[in-house]
């Protein structure tokens, strides 16, 4: 690994707008041979434009040779930014992974290089996914100066990426086409599960499966236990979010605990729910003792609050 040369030569006048967020990517692929700057490896959100412009130009290290990479530790990055951010009255929120890798593309017009650059561009959009390009078609020819501009959306299946080609002082726009496979760790049924059956985490194995064309999300482990199934599953079928019956926090006809609080005082009564509701919903109830109509907000399972 190349020795890391840190340059903190920029002069920052006293700044008083330390807000926003700076997120460091775990892996960044660069094409240039000039010194690596902060703007090459971070994403920013809600930073003051003057601060962002200065920070993005902060030099970090000499660029690695084509095909090689360098690695920052979180301590190295923190040490670099500390003298700069000390000028701020409020420090922006920093998200720094334990290791930040900067790789310089060999940037030759070869399928392996192009596939690698595309995967490195798309991987941060689905960090827990396994991505694979199983088909790609390149414009014919050999080009020395070219630049891809993929959309900032993870393609699902077929993709078409524009690439700008520079040759003899002229530029042309060509297209790279292919197919992207997306695999994700998902719950897979160990056995046949029938409509309306209550399930447990033990009914599923977690394994990577192709979800390229799936339009539904995947539940987390905690969401599976003790839920009912809205559609039957065969053994080896994937369990998706839409297959789970989301039980209401309050059901019509059930007795709910109604709390009315003001300052240090709180009064509790029992009331019968007049409708199904989720947490956060407004619901109508009738008290069990006086038949009084109430309206409140569901704040927990079986619990309603009246202000």
Indicate the domain borders of the chain. Answer: 1-105, 182-245, 255-306
Evaluate whether 294 touches 286 at the Cβ level (below 8 Å): yes
pLDDT score of 15: 46
Distances 165 to 108, 176, 260 between C-alpha atoms, Å: 12, 12, 68
pLDDT score of 56: 86
pLDDT score of 193: 94
pLDDT score of 181: 97
pLDDT score of 180: 97
The encoded tokens of residue 177 equal 């086409």
Kindly report the CA angle at 15 between 11 and 16, in degrees rounded to 5? 170
Distances 284 to 220, 253, 294 between C-alpha atoms, Å: 32, 11, 6
Tell me whether domains 1-105 and 182-245 share a fold: no
Secondary structure, 3-state, 35-84: CEEHHHCEEEECCCHHHHHHHHCCEEECCCCCCCEEEEEHHHHHHHHHHH
- CATH code for the domain defined by 182-245: 3.90.1210.10
CB atoms within 10 A of CB 35: 13
What class has domain 1-105? mainly beta
Evaluate whether 123 touches 174 at the Cβ level (below 8 Å): no
Digitized pLDDT (tens) for each residue of the chain, 307 residues in all: 333 333 333 334 444 455 788 899 888 888 777 888 888 888 888 888 887 887 888 888 888 887 788 898 988 888 877 777 776 666 788 889 998 988 887 778 889 989 999 998 999 889 889 999 999 999 988 887 888 889 889 999 999 999 998 876 788 899 999 999 999 999 999 999 999 898 988 999 999 999 999 989 888 887 888 788 988 999 999 999 889 887 778 888 989 889 887 766 778 889 999 998 887 889 999 998 889 899 999 888 889 988 7
Fold for the domain defined by 255-306: SH3 type barrels. (2.30.30)
């Amino acid at each position: 690994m190349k020795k890391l040369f840190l340059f903190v030569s920029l002069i920052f006048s006293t700044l008083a707008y330390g807000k926003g967020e700076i997120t460091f990517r775990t892996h960044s692929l660069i094409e240039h041979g000039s010194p690596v700057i902060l703007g090459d490896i971070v994403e920013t959100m809600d930073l003051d434009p003057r601060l962002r412009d200065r920070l993005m130009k902060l030099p970090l290290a000499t660029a690695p040779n084509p095909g090689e990479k360098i690695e920052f530790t979180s301590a190295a990055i923190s040490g670099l930014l500390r003298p700069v951010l000390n000028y701020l009255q409020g420090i922006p929120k920093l998200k720094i992974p334990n290791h930040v890798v900067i790789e310089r593309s060999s940037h030759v017009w070869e399928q392996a290089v192009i596939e690698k650059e595309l995967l490195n561009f798309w991987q941060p959009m689905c960090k827990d996914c396994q991505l694979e390009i199983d088909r790609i078609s390149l414009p014919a020819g050999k080009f020395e100066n070219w630049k891809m501009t993929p959309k900032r959306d993870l393609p699902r299946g077929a993709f078409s990426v524009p690439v700008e080609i520079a040759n003899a002082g002229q530029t042309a726009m060509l297209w790279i086409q292919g197919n992207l496979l997306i695999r994700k760790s998902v719950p897979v049924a160990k056995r046949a599960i029938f409509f309306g059956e209550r399930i447990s985490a033990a009914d599923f194995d977690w394994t990577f499966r192709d979800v390229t064309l799936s339009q539904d999300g995947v539940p987390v482990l905690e969401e599976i236990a003790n839920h009912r199934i809205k559609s039957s599953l065969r053994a080896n079928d994937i369990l998706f979010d839409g297959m789970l019956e989301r039980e209401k926090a309050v059901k019509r006809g059930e007795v709910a605990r109604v709390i009315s609080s003001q300052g240090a005082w709180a009064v509790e009564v029992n009331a019968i729910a007049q409708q199904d509701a989720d947490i956060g919903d407004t619901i109508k109830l009738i008290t069990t003792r006086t038949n009084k109509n109430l309206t409140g907000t569901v704040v927990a399972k079986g619990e309603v609050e009246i202000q």
